[in-house]
């Protein structure tokens, strides 16, 4: 599976260097793997940028402005490394991070966090209750399709809280998932080939002076 390549690419490349030495062929093969991985990342990111906008279809056949994403400059991308919140605040950065988590098979963490952010903005008590039940069945209950990794006590507390849903039903779980992403997935994202590529400044082509 292509996405599995991301987890192993650095390890595989290192193994190739040790096992094959620094021969031109092994180096060429290693660079080809990196280019293939980067191409897969860009394809995956393009998909997320087109499909990660706010839910709802554009009215009157017009494209929603929220579906437009602009590739960040190297300077903007570098800001993402200063704080996890900087990354999440960027639409492009958020889409890139989601693609990264998908490659690590833990996209349920960011999906849960986003669902909680949407949940906290809900004003209607009826909608609050229905959204709370959906979040619980999607992410919290045992054998949930996108079950997140939280302790049993927190799960039990959430099950009790959603009986009379309030905007703070999932606060504890959301904080734990945020911390998990910030301390684990986020540092790995910053080391990823894709992110490093975004941070590279384009080299200026120099023209030879006429003699």
How many independent structural domains does the chain possess? 1
SS3 for the chain, per residue?
CCCHHHHHHHHHHHHHHHHHCCCHHHHHHHHHHHHHHHHHHHHHHHHHHHHCCCCCCCHHHCCCHHHCCCCCCHHHHHHCCCCHHHHHHCHHHHHHHHHHHHHCCCCHHHHHHHHHHHHHCCCCHHHHHHHHHHHHHHHHCCCCCCCCCCCHHHHHHHHHHHHHCCCCCCHHHHHHHHHHHHHHHHHHHHCCHHHHHHHCCCCCCCCCCCC
Name the residue range of residue 134's domain.
71-197
Asked if the structure places residue 188 within a domain, the reply is: yes
Asked if the structure places residue 66 within a domain, the reply is: no
What was the pLDDT predicted at 87?
Answer: 97
What was the pLDDT predicted at 41?
Answer: 58
Asked if the structure places residue 209 within a domain, the reply is: no
pTM listed for this prediction: 0.69
Asked if the structure places residue 167 within a domain, the reply is: yes
What was the pLDDT predicted at 99?
Answer: 93
Asked if the structure places residue 64 within a domain, the reply is: no
What was the pLDDT predicted at 70?
Answer: 82
Q: What CATH number did the domain enclosing 104 receive?
A: 1.10.167.10
What was the pLDDT predicted at 141?
Answer: 95
Asked if the structure places residue 119 within a domain, the reply is: yes
Asked if the structure places residue 39 within a domain, the reply is: no
Asked if the structure places residue 182 within a domain, the reply is: yes
How far apart (Å, rounded) are the C-alpha atoms in residues 106 and 114? 14
What was the pLDDT predicted at 97?
Answer: 96
What was the pLDDT predicted at 201?
Answer: 83
List the chain pLDDT tens, one digit each, 211 residues.
Answer: 434 334 333 444 444 444 444 566 666 766 666 556 555 655 656 555 555 443 334 444 444 444 556 889 999 999 999 999 999 999 999 999 999 999 989 999 999 999 999 999 999 999 999 999 999 999 999 999 999 999 999 999 999 999 999 999 999 999 999 999 999 999 999 999 989 999 998 766 555 555 5
What was the pLDDT predicted at 154?
Answer: 95
């Amino acid at each position: 599976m292509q996405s599995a390549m991301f987890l192993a690419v650095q390890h595989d490349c290192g193994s190739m260097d040790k096992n094959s030495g620094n021969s031109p062929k092994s180096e060429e093969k290693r660079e080809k793997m990196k280019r293939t991985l980067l191409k897969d990342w860009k394809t995956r990111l393009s998909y997320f940028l087109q499909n990660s906008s706010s839910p709802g279809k554009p009215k009157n056949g017009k494209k929603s402005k929220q579906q437009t994403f602009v590739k960040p400059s190297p300077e903007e991308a570098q800001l993402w490394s200063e704080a996890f919140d900087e990354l999440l605040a960027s639409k492009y950065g958020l889409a890139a991070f989601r693609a990264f988590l998908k490659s690590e098979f833990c996209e349920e963490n960011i999906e849960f966090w986003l669902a909680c952010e949407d949940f906290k903005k809900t004003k209607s008590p009826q909608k609050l209750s229905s959204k709370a039940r959906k979040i619980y069945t999607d992410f919290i209950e045992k054998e949930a399709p996108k079950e997140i990794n939280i302790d049993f006590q927190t799960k039990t507390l959430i099950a009790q809280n959603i009986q009379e849903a309030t905007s703070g039903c999932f606060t504890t779980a959301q904080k734990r998932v945020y911390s998990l992403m910030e301390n684990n997935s986020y540092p790995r994202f910053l080391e990823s080939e894709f992110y490093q590529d975004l941070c590279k400044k384009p080299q200026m082509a120099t023209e030879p002076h006429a003699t």
